[in-house]
A and B are shown apart, each in its own frame.
Chain A
Amino acid sequence: KQEVTQIPAALSVPEGENLVLNCSFTDSAIYNLQWFRQDPGKGLTSLLLIQSSQREQTSGRLNASLDKSSGRSTLYIAASQPGDSATYLCAPALFSGGYNKLIFGAGTRLAVHP
């Protein structure tokens, strides 16, 4: 059974810092891995999707890496801003039963203060 762990559970940093959020998963036979952002009381927004054949994906100040063999992914946030405050969820996907089965971690709650 796929288990997903995200470290740290919570993080509070001053504006401008570069951050690394960690995700580990137990089953390396994943199809892809996604990072989502969730704002309080809101739904999830997909930030980055890395296919299993890729090593990393970049979008603006965000960079996600994937080491499938070791069951790890990291989300790097450069020059953090207060608007980055949210919970970040990691979700590796197994293609099973004809659909992309996402297994979610509990998330890292990020607070960026001015």
Chain B
Amino acid sequence: NAGVTQTPKFRVLKTGQSMTLLCAQDMNHEYMYWYRQDPGMGLRLIHYSVGEGTTAKGEVPDGYNVSRLKKQNFLLGLESAAPSQTSVYFCASSYGMPEETQYFGPGTRLLVL
């Protein structure tokens, strides 16, 4: 099992450019999540999905869109990148039962100039 993988590992964007971050999991998890982590702050939830074809907003959804066309994949899109979106992005997945933990990917470092 690869667990949770994220592509790319690192990316530099110019303000206004767009990009898509890909998250894939091979554990047949129903639930998937996108977080961002900024220095001195805990992880904050951007969007999440409770199953294929569903998405919902988290704490900090503005400026991001997501799609879950296949159960194993969860895509995070930035339509027009801003310097405030410079961060480390983590994807996670879980079975969805409240007693279960979330499994995290290695992260994507994004720098917006």
Size class of the B contact interface (CB-based, 8 Å) = 20 to 34
Given A43-B104, A43-B107; A100-B98 close (CB under 8 Å): yes
Residues of chain B contacted by A83 (CB below 8 angstroms): none
Binds A, one of B12-20, B43-51, B61-69, B76-84: B43-51
Most buried by A among B40, B94, B101: B101
Is A114 on the interface with B (CB-CB < 8 A)?
no
Cβ contact of A46, chosen from B44, B48, B101, B105, cutoff 8 A: B101
B107 touches A42 (CB 8 A): yes
B99 touches A32 (CB 8 A): yes
A100 touches B102 (CB 8 A): yes
Most buried by A among B31, B99, B100: B99
Residues of chain B contacted by A41 (CB below 8 angstroms): 107
Size class of the A contact interface (CB-based, 8 Å) = 20 to 34
Given A31-B98, A32-B98, A98-B50; A106-B42 close (CB under 8 Å): yes
Residues of chain B contacted by A4 (CB below 8 angstroms): 42
Is A28 on the interface with B (CB-CB < 8 A)?
no
Enumerate chain A interface residues (CB-CB to B < 8 A).
4, 31-32, 34, 36, 41-46, 49, 51, 89, 91, 93, 95, 97-107
Q: Supply 15 A–B pairs (Cβ within 8 Å), ascending by A.
A: A4-B42, A32-B99, A43-B104, A45-B104, A46-B101, A46-B103, A89-B42, A91-B42, A97-B56, A98-B50, A99-B50, A101-B45, A104-B42, A106-B40, A107-B42
